[in-house]
Amino acid sequence: MLLCACPAPGDPSDGDSTDQPATEASSGGGETTDVTPTTGATSSAEPTSTSEASTTGAGADDGCAAYCAKLVECDAAGASDCMSWCPSAGRGYEYIGDGCLALYAASNGCVADLSCEQLADDPKACQDQQDAIIGEACTTKYCRDLCDKSAECQGGPGGDIPCSSECSLAAAASFSQSGAACTDLIEALIACELTLTCAELEPLQGCEAEIAAMMAGC
């Protein structure tokens, strides 16, 4: 079941260890990511408008200033345009919620506290902080609802990255790069998918208007 074709979060395109955690759930470098839900939690959902979410950046709470200063200090990959892509990714985490943005800031803060030697030689130095982002705090209700329905239809969960996390981080990437209009369309598609039967959901049969609107608007 194709949920969306979403761009990856803003991060360095070379896959260096300084990449932000969302790249664990989607491909880096601005490539297209197909998100196929496999597990989650249940309930019915209506689209939740993202029009109130910030479109100017996550600000001081994203931890990007210290993070980018560390990359510059250590002449690390992504340093030259860090203050462009790091806040852009932060907008995506902020779209998911304050708790998710706080985890993003904690991951950035961990990197900022490393020595240049640690940054270069220990790519897993901040793994715990990055792994925390692949969890409940960085998921949206509509993704949890859809993933639970998909899991029920498939007979159980699947995949190493939780479906609700993969779905939410892909939507966050779309928000950071395309804005609230795109994520509103994604949420409308998910709301439609939640009304389908399992036979209609796997493979997807229906919601053609929502799919067309999302593909045109994102």
Query: What are the distances in angstroms from CA 43 to CA 50, 134, 145, 191, 199?
Result: 20, 21, 5, 11, 19
Tokens 């998921």 locate to: 139
At 166-184, the pLDDT tens digits run 999 999 999 988 889 999 9
Q: What is the pLDDT of residues 143-157, one digit of tens each?
A: 999 999 888 888 766
pTM, full prediction: 0.70
Distance of alpha carbon 164 from alpha carbon 53, whole angstroms: 20
Q: Is-contact 106 138, C-beta < 8 A?
A: no
Whole-number Å distance between alpha carbons of 85 and 78: 9
Residue 31 and residue 23: Cα distance in Å, rounded? Answer: 11
- The per-residue pLDDT for range 34-62, each reduced to its tens digit, is 333 333 333 333 333 333 344 334 444 89
Q: Per-domain residue ranges for the chain?
A: 5-217
> Other C-beta atoms within 10 Å of 72: how many?
14
